[in-house]
Structure 1
Amino acid sequence: MTAEWDAVTDCLMVGSGGGALCGALAAAAAGRQVLVIEKTDVVGGSTAMSGGVLWLPDNPVSARAGVEDSRSDALRYFDAVVGRDTPSASPERVTAFLDAIGPMVEFLEQQGIPFRHCEGYSDYYDERPGGKARGRSLETELFDTKQLGPWQKRFRISETLPAIPIYTAEVAAMTRGVRTWRSALTIGKVGARLVAAALRRRSVRGSGAALQGWMLLAAARADVPIWTSTRVTELIEENGVVVGVCAVRDGRTIRIQARDGVLINSGGFSHNAEMREKYGRSPTSTGWTVANPGDTGEMLQAAMDLGAATDLMEEAWWIPSSVQPDQSPLYAVFERSKPHAIMVDGTGERYVNEAASYMEVGQAMYERNAVAPAIPSWWIMDSRNRRRYMWGMAPGGWTPRQWISSGYMIKAGSIAELADRCGIEEAALEKTLERYNTAAVHGKDPDFAKGERAYDRYYGDPRVRPNPCVAPVDRPPYYAVALYPGDVGTCGGLVTDADARVLRADGTVIDGLYATGNCTASVMGRTYPGAGASIGASFVFGWRAAQHMIRAGVAPAVGKQDRGPAHTSGAE
């Protein structure tokens, strides 16, 4: 080993999200030496904080579940929803994404990842050509974090997702309370599962904790070394090739050589106020994001310092969010599909299908704000909505006193009073509600077609007919909550090719440097086509990066076949 290197490996993964662990497993299985380094003191990245779903068209797991899909349908859907107006959604990138899905999923199943189809969770634009009402999303079986042994204490757990053993398909029923027999049975089933886990002293999780729990367990079984609390300060480039990184570990600066390449899977810049102001949409605030605390943009900037091209820097995975009394953001997903509620701008007018994809609604907030005050917008509910349905983790019928006393949730006996307290012109809000309610009596929304997509209806109330998302807002008392364009991560960043290699502005490759996940410009462009689109793409391009490293590498091939164990001083 060259004396100037403190550690040497073949494939270096910066970050510990899903794409990094997927790439690490693939490289390790091919006999490459792998090292994963994580800036924070816990493993899992944004993936562990997410819903833990991967959107993967034409995948083998969904096919086994009887979901009809095809390459041609997937391409039609990409054309109809994503388009081709960004370099990241080029035909080559989309083709590469689709090509890798089958072999990647089969490989991960061989590594012990127990995937299952997310039944009932449709594509977000199922009505468009190639869209699927049964969806294309995968999740994993539930996971007992105690299987991680000593890693359990160093595993990232979301503070915004409930610590209950629940599958994606059960979430919608849970949010309806006991409105239907199915909801009541689901609540009982999940409750029994929770009690059983407690009696057995197990810590069983769903969502991102389940997905990343299985991935971390697979990495541990494959003896993939993972260093936490290791912060990269510089990408090391020699003769135009990225050959390693400088990092701070245990209070000292070390140099890590990566003989086959460096894969960045470090997230975007949601928690970097300066970068948000410089690149993002306005207005903006780090107080509106629920992204990984480590999402601060240093690796993205390091690649940009080497001349890396960027795109879509103004975009994020938008999600309408409120700011709770403790100043923490609370995103609204299932709430927006429930009946007896609407969203209006500061003038009292509706401007979007409230039940649409969270990213679509977040973008609409910014677009509307260019012509009328829409940040914040106001979520208006009547007494039936508040009595029947969850808001955040508060069940229907129970409103925390602090919500009202702090002004987070405004309660009023009339629309006139509600409008006054929200700063909305009374006549304008009453006119909006009169127009909405006239059609809503018949389950119609002639302005924005709320409830006409399968995705809209997924979180709706099936007892409200004929449209589970649309019913009048006319029973006092009334409630209002201010909503902002929050996010779960930025989705603009480094431009990469079909193999996740980082490109310069002139289209040439920065040899040795790969990237996936939220630090890259997404293959989904400016849209979110289905549940888990960001995670699915992160896994796929992490996989493709590893395959390219395996095939080619960037370091001299001399002695590669005779390599012994990498020197990784202090590996965990």
Structure 2
Amino acid sequence: MFPHAPTGTEHYSAAPKTNTGDGIRLGESAGGVMETGYPAAGAWAPVSLVPRSPVENAHFPHLLERAKPGVIAVTASGRRFVNEADSYHDFIQALIDTTEPGQPPQAWLICDHRFLRRYGLGHAKPFPLPIAPHLRSGYLKRGRTPAELAMACGIDASALQQTLDHYNQHARHGEDPAFGRGDTAYNRIQGDADCTPNPCVAPIEKGPLYGVEIRPGSLGTFAGLRTDASARVLAADGFPVDGLYAVGTDMASIMAGRYPAGGINLGPGMTFGYIAANHIKSRYTSFTHEKPAS
């Protein structure tokens, strides 16, 4: 259970539904303990809910288009809250931090028709794929003007207009003084090199405008079983549980609840899988070379 999802229904993981923590429970049953002190227990990611049926939604992670020029994120207040081109983890952490206590974290990605047809918006794909099914399902909202889009999304119309006016004033020159979007190599790598002078910034001016609702989600967890440098699971007393190893997201992340780069669940998983295998091999080799008792 995450603090921003007290009932368990306010968080939408992009992980398979069958990923239910069985490995961690097995580790705990053998004496391992969970790491619970990280500032973020999950590798956060913005997720939109794609209708599959009247009672079921797919969880679509927004990993790529947020850094493209010509899209912003706003809350229902109509205000931006983050550098949209920062990591997906930082994006959701900013949304959680800006949400009033007791309110569900919720935001909207807003773009114009040019952006939608060039880059797509979430599950709504670029031209030539059709957007009509997403409009009919309600996944994609549309308005001829900012006021119409605000009404369709439930956003403060006056504030959204002010936000767009301020953003566009600087975006026409490739600037984002509010959040410094495009100022770092991390931002620019996901931008559009054909957009100059800033591959991450362009105005949002020509209707119709579109919006997709964003909710907090995750790609994996940072919290997991405590381990030592050899990937051995630690018990409550700090000593290894004999013969028990953990890697991947069953292991408490070495990033300690931070997200410095994409793939930060994959890299440590591969690395500590290698370390654990070599440690097991060294133990097995030492056992098989022991001299028999006389």
**Same topology, TM > 0.5:** yes
2:200 pairs with 1:469: yes
2:75 pairs with 1:345: yes
State how 1:373-522 maps to structure 2 within 5 Å. 375-391=105-121, 392=123, 394-396=125-127, 398-522=129-253
Question: Is the Cα contact below 8 Å between 1:411 and 1:478 reproduced in 2?
Answer: yes
C-alpha displacement of 1:293: 3.9
User: For 1:295 and 1:335, how far apart are their aligned partners in 2?
Assistant: 27
CA deviation profile, 1:33-67 (whole Å, cap 9, x unmatched)? xxxxxxxxxxxxxxxxxxxxxxxxxxxxxxxxxxx
User: For 1:529 and 1:460, how far apart are their aligned partners in 2?
Assistant: 18
**Uncovered stretches (5+) of structure 2, i.e. residues with no partner:** none
User: For 1:331 and 1:349, how far apart are their aligned partners in 2?
Assistant: 22
C-alpha displacement of 1:393: 6.7
Give the match for residue 44 of structure 2. Answer: 318
C-alpha displacement of 1:558: 6.7
Name the aligned partner's letter for residue 315 of structure 1: A
Q: Secondary structure at the match of 1:351?
A: coil
Question: Is the Cα contact below 8 Å between 1:288 and 1:486 reproduced in 2?
Answer: yes
State how 1:13-412 maps to structure 2 within 5 Å. 277=1, 281-282=4-5, 284-285=8-9, 288-312=12-36, 315-326=41-52, 327-370=57-100, 375-391=105-121, 392=123, 394-396=125-127, 398-412=129-143
Alignment length (residue pairs): 284
Q: Secondary structure at the match of 2:242?
A: strand
Q: Secondary structure at the match of 1:311?
A: coil
CA deviation profile, 1:423-481 (whole Å, cap 9, x unmatched)? 11111111111111111111111111111111211221222211111111111100000
**Uncovered stretches (5+) of structure 1, i.e. residues with no partner:** 1-276, 563-572
User: For 1:344 and 1:371, how far apart are their aligned partners in 2?
Assistant: 18
Q: Flag the 1:370–1:510 CA change in 2: closer, same or farther, 3 A.
A: farther
Question: Is the Cα contact below 8 Å between 1:345 and 1:374 reproduced in 2?
Answer: no
Question: Is the Cα contact below 8 Å between 1:319 and 1:488 reproduced in 2?
Answer: yes
User: For 1:379 and 1:431, how far apart are their aligned partners in 2?
Assistant: 16
Over the residues paired in the alignment, what is the CA RMSD in angstroms?
2.5
Q: Secondary structure at the match of 1:292?
A: coil
User: For 1:371 and 1:380, how far apart are their aligned partners in 2?
Assistant: 25
User: For 1:560 and 1:483, how far apart are their aligned partners in 2?
Assistant: 59
Q: Flag the 1:286–1:301 CA change in 2: closer, same or farther, 3 A.
A: farther
Question: Is the Cα contact below 8 Å between 2:14 and 2:47 reproduced in 1?
Answer: no
Q: Flag the 1:390–1:422 CA change in 2: closer, same or farther, 3 A.
A: closer
Q: What percent of counterpart residues are identical?
A: 37
CA deviation profile, 1:488-527 (whole Å, cap 9, x unmatched)? 2222110101000111233121111110001121011222
Q: Flag the 1:545–1:300 CA change in 2: closer, same or farther, 3 A.
A: same
C-alpha displacement of 1:414: 0.8
User: For 1:412 and 1:393, how far apart are their aligned partners in 2?
Assistant: 16
Question: Is the Cα contact below 8 Å between 2:68 and 2:201 reproduced in 1?
Answer: yes
User: For 2:127 and 2:243, how far apart are their aligned partners in 1?
Assistant: 53
Question: Is the Cα contact below 8 Å between 2:10 and 2:104 reproduced in 1?
Answer: no
CA deviation profile, 1:167-223 (whole Å, cap 9, x unmatched)? xxxxxxxxxxxxxxxxxxxxxxxxxxxxxxxxxxxxxxxxxxxxxxxxxxxxxxxxx
Question: Is the Cα contact below 8 Å between 2:124 and 2:140 reproduced in 1?
Answer: no
Name the aligned partner's letter for residue 35 of structure 2: D
User: For 1:307 and 1:472, how far apart are their aligned partners in 2?
Assistant: 56
Q: Secondary structure at the match of 2:204?
A: coil
Give the match for residue 524 of structure 1. Answer: 255
User: For 1:561 and 1:399, how far apart are their aligned partners in 2?
Assistant: 72
Question: Is the Cα contact below 8 Å between 2:69 and 2:202 reproduced in 1?
Answer: yes
User: For 1:423 and 1:325, how far apart are their aligned partners in 2?
Assistant: 19
Q: Which of these two proteins has the greater Rg computed from alpha carbons?
A: 1
Taking structure 2 as the reference length, the TM-score comes to 0.88
Q: Secondary structure at the match of 1:328?
A: strand
Name the aligned partner's letter for residue 47 of structure 2: S
Name the aligned partner's letter for residue 426 of structure 1: A
2:265 pairs with 1:542: no
Q: Comparing both structures, which one devotes a greater share of its residues to helix?
A: 1
User: For 2:291 and 2:134, how far apart are their aligned partners in 1?
Assistant: 63
Q: Secondary structure at the match of 1:510?
A: strand
C-alpha displacement of 1:560: 7.2
User: For 2:127 and 2:258, how far apart are their aligned partners in 1?
Assistant: 32
User: For 2:25 and 2:48, how far apart are their aligned partners in 1?
Assistant: 30
Q: Secondary structure at the match of 2:168?
A: helix
C-alpha displacement of 1:365: 1.9
Taking structure 1 as the reference length, the TM-score comes to 0.47
Q: Flag the 1:557–1:286 CA change in 2: closer, same or farther, 3 A.
A: farther
Q: Flag the 1:423–1:293 CA change in 2: closer, same or farther, 3 A.
A: closer
Question: Is the Cα contact below 8 Å between 2:253 and 2:265 reproduced in 1?
Answer: yes
Name the aligned partner's letter for residue 5 of structure 2: S
Q: Secondary structure at the match of 1:512?
A: strand
Q: Secondary structure at the match of 1:550?
A: helix
Question: Is the Cα contact below 8 Å between 1:346 and 1:374 reproduced in 2?
Answer: no
Question: Is the Cα contact below 8 Å between 1:342 and 1:354 reproduced in 2?
Answer: yes
Q: Secondary structure at the match of 1:420?
A: helix
